[in-house]
Amino acid sequence: MDYRNILFSVADGIARITLNRPERLNAFNVAMHEELRHALQRVESAAAERTVRVLVLTGAGRAFCAGQDLADRSVDPGAAAPDLGASIELYYGPLVLALRRLSVPVLCVVNGVAAGAGANLPLACDIVIAARSAHFIEAFCNLGLIPDTGGTYFLPRLLGPARATALAMLGDKLSAEQAAAWGLIWKCVDDAQLAAEADALARRLAAAPTLGVLRTRQALQASGLNTLEAQLDLERDFMRELGRSNDYREGVSAFLEKRPPRFTGA
């Protein structure tokens, strides 16, 4: 597939996807969704071969993503209403699940404004860093919609109900700094430091014990629904599995030999 709306590259175990419609602030159209889906499948295949051990997701130009491209939504009097449910079912929902289930950790680098679906997409990723000049806008309320792309799931869990409700109902700008202070994202860094910080984090994740990282994600995701007993059982099962992994053996050996570990992800 030829990519016209995203950029995709793989080097040194790091896959990078850049949303690339800067003239529309990287708003989603159907072609961009399809390219993204295709690229995520390539990452999944590369993960199976262990040639990719982390995905970095970012945006081109001054924005991260402005959500759905509203120019693709005809609202002319007399025109049939678009089926937004179909759009969620076909594109936005599967995108969230693909990111949450990807076989490598996902680092989201929010380089600028993130609005609508573009504000919630980072929340489906494992680690989010943002430029100090970036901000998050739950813009849906300005259109009479609800926060989609997992917004109604992630926002109350990350922020608590009071902040989630006001952001979702008012659509006020949330600065990257405030987002980090409130626990919506991992950290906010100076714009000039964003690329270097993102590269350093990507390199760390590409060298991490990938299976352990993935089981960590699974256990944390499961904890929202599990009882303490069920969660302790899950921890037991994952620890049993990971204790048999090559990376555990390597981690212990490296510690005892006082040298940096060389994890392979297995």
CB of 1 to ligand T3D, least distance (A): 21
Residue of 73, 204, 236, 249 interacting with ligand T3D (CB under 6 A):
73
How many residues does this entry show for the chain?
Answer: 266
Task: Establish if 254 lies at the interface with ligand T3D (CB under 6 A).
Answer: no
Binding positions for ligand T3D, 120-179, rule CB under 6 A: 137, 139-140, 142-143, 145, 148
Q: What gap in Å lies between CA 122 and CA 127, rounded to an integer? A: 8
Segment contacting ligand T3D by CB under 6 A, of 53-61, 84-92, 180-188, 212-220 = 84-92
The DSSP bridge partners found for residue 7 are 18
CB of 27 to ligand T3D, least distance (A): 4
**Is 140 within 8 Å of 114 (Cβ atoms)?**
no
Residue of 104, 113, 124, 159 interacting with ligand T3D (CB under 6 A):
113
**Residue (113 or 134) nearer to ligand T3D, CB:** 113
Structure tokens at 183: 């626990």
Secondary structure letter of residue 103 according to DSSP: S
Task: Establish if 32 lies at the interface with ligand T3D (CB under 6 A).
Answer: no
Residue of 69, 177, 197, 250 interacting with ligand T3D (CB under 6 A):
69
Residue of 59, 67, 122, 150 interacting with ligand T3D (CB under 6 A):
67
Segment contacting ligand T3D by CB under 6 A, of 31-39, 101-109, 112-120, 212-220 = 112-120
Q: What gap in Å lies between CA 137 and CA 20, rounded to an integer? A: 20
Q: What are phi and psi of 190, to 5 degrees?
A: -60, 145
Among 148, 133, 126, 135, which Cα is nearest to 57's?
126
CA angle 214–108–118, rounded 5-degree value: 120
Task: Establish if 90 lies at the interface with ligand T3D (CB under 6 A).
Answer: no
How many residues at the interface with ligand T3D, by CB under 6 A? 24
**Residue found under tokens 């969230």:** 96
Backbone conformation region of residue 171, classed left if phi is above 0, alpha if psi is from -120 to 50, else beta: left
Residue of 19, 66, 188, 214 interacting with ligand T3D (CB under 6 A):
66
Specify the DSSP element, H or E, that contains 59.
strand 54-59
CB of 22 to ligand T3D, least distance (A): 9
Residue of 6, 14, 17, 27 interacting with ligand T3D (CB under 6 A):
27
Distance of CA 123 to the CA centre of its chain: 6
Residues at the interface with ligand T3D (CB under 6 A): 24-25, 27, 66-71, 73, 84, 87, 92, 113, 115-117, 137, 139-140, 142-143, 145, 148
